[in-house]
Chains A and B, each alone.
Chain A
Amino acid sequence: MKDRFLKKVLVIGSGPIVIGQAAEFDYAGVQACRALREENIEIVLVNSNPATIMTDEEIANKVYIEPLNADSLTQIIKKERPQGLIATLGGQTALNLACELDKLGVLKEYKVKILGTDIEAIKSAEDRELFKNLMQKLDIPTPQSEIVSNYEDAYKFYKKIGFPIIIRPAFTLGGSGGGIARTEQELEQIVSIGLKQSPISQVLVEKSIAGYKEIEFEIIRDANDTALSICNMENIDPIGIHTGDSFVVAPCQTLIDSEIQMLRNKAVKIVRALKIEGSCNVQFALDTMSDKYYIIEVNPRVSRSSALASKATGYPIAKVATKIAIGYNLQEIKNSINNKNYAYEPNIDYVVVKIPRWPFDKFSTGDRILGTKMKATGEIMAIGRTFVSAFKKAIVSLEQKDTGLLNRGFNELTNDELLQELYIQDDRRIFRLAQALNNGNDINKLCAITKINRWFIEKINEIVLMEQELIKSPLDRELYLRAKEFGFLDEEISTLSQNSIETLRDFKIDADFRLVDTCAGLYDAGIPYFYSTYNEVDEAVDFKEKTASESKKPKENIIVLGSGPIRIGQGIEFDYCSVHAAWQLNKNGYESVMINSNPETLSTDYDVATRLYFEPLHIEYIMNVIKKEKPKGVLVQFGGQSAINLASKLEGEGVKILGTSLNSINTAEDRKAFEKLLKDLDIAQPKGCAVTTTTAALNAVKEIGYPVLVRPSYVIGGRGMQVVYNDEELLTYIEEAFKFSNGHPVLIDQYLEGQEVELDLISDGKNILIPGICEHIERAGIHSGDSMSIYPSQNISRKNEKIIVKYASKIAKKLNIKGLANIQFIIKDDKVYVIEVNPRASRTVPIMSKVTGIPMVNIALDAILGKSIKRAGFGVGLYKKSDLISVKMPIFSWQKLNRIDPALAPEMKSTGEVLGVDTDYKKALYKAFLAGGYKFSKSKQRVLVSLNDHYKKPALPMLKRLFKQGFFIMATWGTHKFLEKNGIPSKMIEKFMIDKLQKRMKDGRLSFIINTPTLGKNSQHAGFEIRTIAQMYNIATFSSIDTASAYLSAYKVFDRNTSLEYDTITNYRKKKTFKMFK
């Protein structure tokens, strides 16, 4: 039964989105909060990530957008006095924090009970030594391993075992800092990095069992000792590749019952021994030739895998885990839709495939080799009645240029070359494998090379053979239907078989939708969760009609397009927008229909929208849904670039786009039209033009003058964008830009190095509402997603503010914006230029909604549906400021991605963000850096400074402060000379003695680095080398002098021993501080 003494519960979020900790924790957190609300428990929520839905004031009662550290949480606990704390829903971050608070005695002092799985259990699962001991006690084999806290011991282990050796640091997320060592040099490097990254300086060195099957179980247990296996999953990639980077299938496909039961029993045994109260993920390695197995890992919390398992089965793990945490037993927890209790193991009658989404399309220099360290930023899931159809659908869901398995460049290799490359374990291995199958290689040979189970290779071969058949055989209805059952797209079938799309349509074969019901059809679950298939009975229309007949008034429906997998440039913020759009549709009396492919998100929870279609964001799949749903229209402005890019195709199919018209969308995206628009409105813009050839580009630059910004059109997050200073650089970049542009022209703009400003607005076509104006800390030239940004703007004159509002209003009116738009400006020499208009929800919408209290998506949606924005009660024009000041800080995942240059550029690189909030700018800034994980220390260390000529002079004030604040400057030759000339002492170091520097970093004798990159994409360059090594050792590297300057300001707050106060976002907005001087 529910613990009746629980009135107030503290929920800790997972902080910014980083590789290994993405939207799944927002999904889990929101589910948890909703579960607590059902029980009338007051929720105090702390999370530094403002893009999340959980930090909405309608989700939790008290929302603290504050840094996640012991100080902030202690103060919040002191103030709020919650009776309980849920730590198992905020990923590794929340788990580690809870352990820290426990250790500090805070929980005991304030009588805060850890709800659900207790600290001891968490420690036994997380601490390598305790875990090993427990497994020994339970007689569960672990791979031969040793826990070491120095390199010497790791070396001894290697001498005993031999290579390869896996290194896993304790208490880190996503295998951060780990890896496989095959040489002594690698061993030394990985162990030293691992020790540095582990908060307890402990790593596990382990015999590699690469090649074993990797099997996962999601187990849920309650205090009554009921333990259920919710889902089992098999990694298509065998052990050796992080499960977050593996293709995964659910349920397991190549295991026999006795193997499954053996592992299930062990998983249950572990979960019982740990006394887990909630959910737990258990990972095993299973031999392919015997029933020998090892336990790999136990995660005593909800995880990425549990999000996947929830979506794969329809069983809401986070919700159930929360109810268990507050005292319920499984049979007491009921599904609100069908009133069934949750004491069951789901059975499914379909196959689920998950594929990770990697950022290598953006980071072309990045190390694509996959290993024990996760590199994917997000993932997609696809559901099919068969493995083949799910797999095929999953590939489409990746939203890449190619939708098929073949002809991804590997067809240009000779077969020998291809087979050689097949040994490479990177993100493209499946496509190489498919090509190798297409070449007719022996399957046994391919099994031997890839270590992928034969069953999967055979299935991929089925797809390859179908492709061959489509090329060779005449297309008749039977073949077409089979190809559709396999998951082939019409456009693929059309190309392969040389038939027009119209011919295919003449076959009159429609997709059928089936229900995800958790019970394999056993009973009518009533869950509104669908996926498409072919040649079966459709259940969607019946379902829809049944709900319609139950409600008195039949409702119209509207489709919301989600944003697909989390990738750099398109993150959780668009899920925030999609979810709110769905909710607001319901409030307006419509049925909301969600289409999305991302299992980590809240939008793909079946009780968010009226109906959920788990499908790729591809025009064909969307049209399938539209045929069944017959919606009033489609909303494309909330799902980021993925959704908006579908607008023209949808309109081409005769579908109504709600909100801003396609014409206006195109005007904003099309170079020429946009240029003309601004000209007509008499708004200044950087000079620029669109080109389709290299010659045209060179000619264009002659007119514009260097520096110029080169960027492809219609891309996410500034992909392929770069500032270019001369012809040579231009020639290097332009090719890449053409490739990214995918047929669209490449844009060349004058580069204005001024103050960058941006705003989001809501428009109903007549009036606009601007919640606020943000200014960037870094000067223009750095992608807005990677810039620190301040709200409200601190340095813009009243005059320019007025001009900005005027421009925004003009543009919105002219484009007849209905809903949201984002406009970016540059102020240079006191003149305002408009550089970009995005006629859709932007990254900053959740932030602006929270800091201003204006529910932007709701108002935008009302406007789209025809309501005046005046009715929202926030007035029109620029909304008034409160005393709240926020600083947004981008967060990067460098540690996960080797060989990515951390230097900021016009191309976006960050994976997430945090927000520092206060009523004092400096404190907000300090909080942002704290939340971003930047270190502050009383003992001042060395700072390495190396500036290119372009930035030396502008950096002078910052360098003076650096010295004044007590840092010891080490500088490279040119910078040293410059400092000397300006009377700032520094020690000259040889032009990047990398080994020496690396040693300093390893020993923690280097505080941070200020290094403006020399332009040129020369990966061999010493600067690049230093920056990437610094990232591995988690040493802050500032490539913009503006960020460095902001960091120094924050440092000043720290040096003054300023105590920080923490408050809810609601209170910050209300606060009126008494100001003597204004």
Chain B
Amino acid sequence: MGTLILQDGSVFKGKTFGALGGYEGEIVFNTSPFGYQKILSDPSYFKQIVVFANPEMGNCAINDADFESENTDLVGVVIKNYCNSASHYRSRESLADFLRKKGVVGLCDIDTRTLVKKITQVGTMNAFITSNNVNDEFIKEKLAQIQSFKFPSDTLAQVSTANRYILNPQGKINAAIIDYGVKKSYLNALIKRNCKLTVYPSEVNSKEILDNNFDALFLSNGPGNPNEYVFQVSQIKNLMGKLPIFGVGLGFNILALAAGAAVDKMKFGHRSSSIGVINLENNKIYMTCQNHQWTIDSDNLTNIMRPTYKNLDDNTIEGFEISSLAIYAVQFEPYANPGSEDCGFIFDEWMNIIKKDIEKINGVKNER
């Protein structure tokens, strides 16, 4: 019997099925019915306890192909029903074994719907998850403790690569990407589109990027509070206008901050594999994969920022561009995983922008 303690004092008890231990974190929920392995290995869930709204979990166990990163950065998984007898031809190990190996606490037989409803009412909270059946005294103590939980100051360093590395060296487009906790699907989407990718740690400074004459810079998804990433924002500020910059997820927030907008915490964020967004230019609607807690304050956009996508449900800004500076960003994840790949075309659009930019630069060079 394990225990989940929420910041508002509510306590949920359930069966343990993952690792032993206890962790503090932020509690969030995901309503995607599929792709739990991709969610578990998404670094953007760093220090989070993820509640799955989908009640049947573990059905397809864990396979070799579906990891979004090498790490498992979340600290807890809370579900309704755990299925130990998985069945899929690709499965290699059970979800429970995987969590145990990765040190993630898993709780099952939890009334997850009630938990989800609570989070939607109270908002994303700090929480403590433990594989122990703890007593009231312990709960009281923990409750006091978790009130002050914060993402560690080295959050990005923890999920980012320690060293620069290069992928797809034969790629035609010479692109850099800053890894704030990047998902593999992001890298793959760029590689598929013929990018040579130089992946930088989150601590990279603008000079290093400028010195390497990249055709474009991509900012990755990632965890934590964007407002705390002052260094990263300042580096991006230095790069604005120097080369085309594209951001996704946290990258979107960092670009927004660099452009002078404000970024606010949403009550409980957007986390699912099919969240509707509308393209403000042509009114086309797309289903997107999302995992973010922060959003741009739409009242505080700078003049140069033009919103490109909006959330269909709550009207939050899901995309913006500053075409004069060749800055393009979306809050959702066009590379999906889990979820629909409706928006893969955004990468194609971005590649076209890069190609045009390259042509322009070459044109200028030729004139000289």
Contacts and interface: CB of A to CB of B under 8 A. Distances in A.
Interface centre among A224, A226, A257, A265 (most CB of B within 10 A): A257
Interface in B53-100: 53-56, 59-60, 63, 65-66, 80-81, 83, 85-90
A331 B312 contact: yes
B341 interface: yes
Interface size class of A (residues with CB under 8 A): 35 or more
A519 B268 CA distance: 14
Contact of A385 (B80, B120, B276): B80
Interface stretch (B249-257, B331-339, B352-360): B331-339
A251 B312 CA distance: 23
B59 A455 contact: yes
B193 to A, nearest CB: 18
Contact of A455 (B86, B90, B274): B86
Contacts of B88: 254, 256
Contacts of B273: 257
Contacts of A182: none
Interface in A251-276: 251-258, 260-261, 264-265, 268
Interface centre among B80, B87, B283, B339 (most CB of A within 10 A): B87
B312 A341 contact: yes
Interface string A289-303: 110000000000000
Contact of B113 (A288, A455, A459, A536): A536
A107 B120 CA distance: 52
Interface string B312-352: 11000000000000000000000011111110000000000
A590 interface: no
A169 B276 CA distance: 39
Given A345-B287, A349-B113, A351-B55, A520 B87 contact: no
Contacts of B83: 455, 458-459
Contacts of B35: 256-257
Contact of A254 (B80, B87, B312): B87
B112 interface: yes
A386 interface: yes
Contact of B114 (A229, A289, A344, A536): A536
Contacts of B37: 256-257
Nearest to A388: B81
Given A345-B287, A349-B54, A257 B120 contact: no
Given A330-B285, A349-B55, A514-B113, A256 B31 contact: no
B47 interface: no
Contacts of B87: 254, 453-455, 458
A343 B310 CA distance: 13
A150 interface: no
A1076 interface: no
Nearest to B271: A522
A521 interface: yes
A523 interface: yes
Interface size class of B (residues with CB under 8 A): 35 or more
B27 interface: no
Contacts of B31: 347, 349, 519-522
Contacts of B338: 257, 261
A523 to B, nearest CB: 7
A228 B286 CA distance: 8
Nearest to B116: A521
B107 to A, nearest CB: 15
Contacts of A329: 283
B32 to A, nearest CB: 7
Contacts of A255: 34, 60
A331 B285 contact: yes
A537 interface: yes
A225 interface: yes
A386 B80 contact: yes
Interface string B120-162: 1000000000000000000000000000000000000000000
Interface centre among B34, B274, B284 (most CB of A within 10 A): B34
A350 interface: yes
Nearest to B61: A256
Contacts of A228: 287
A521 B120 contact: yes
Interface in B11-64: 31-35, 37-38, 53-56, 59-60, 63
B85 A454 contact: yes
Contact of A521 (B113, B274, B312): B113
Interface string A274-294: 000000000000001110000
A351 B112 CA distance: 14
B264 to A, nearest CB: 19
Given A264-B340, A514-B113, A537-B111, A256 B34 contact: yes
B60 A256 contact: yes
A535 interface: yes
A349 B113 CA distance: 7
B285 A343 contact: yes
A254 B60 contact: yes
What are the nearest 3 A-B pairs in CB distance?
Answer: A257-B35, A520-B53, A458-B85
Interface of B: 31-35, 37-38, 53-56, 59-60, 63, 65-66, 80-81, 83, 85-90, 111-114, 116-117, 120, 272-274, 276, 278, 283-285, 287, 312-313, 336-342
25 contacts: A224-B284, A229-B340, A251-B54, A253-B56, A254-B88, A256-B66, A257-B38, A257-B337, A257-B338, A257-B339, A265-B341, A290-B89, A329-B283, A330-B285, A341-B312, A344-B274, A345-B287, A454-B87, A459-B83, A520-B53, A520-B116, A521-B53, A536-B111, A536-B114, A537-B114
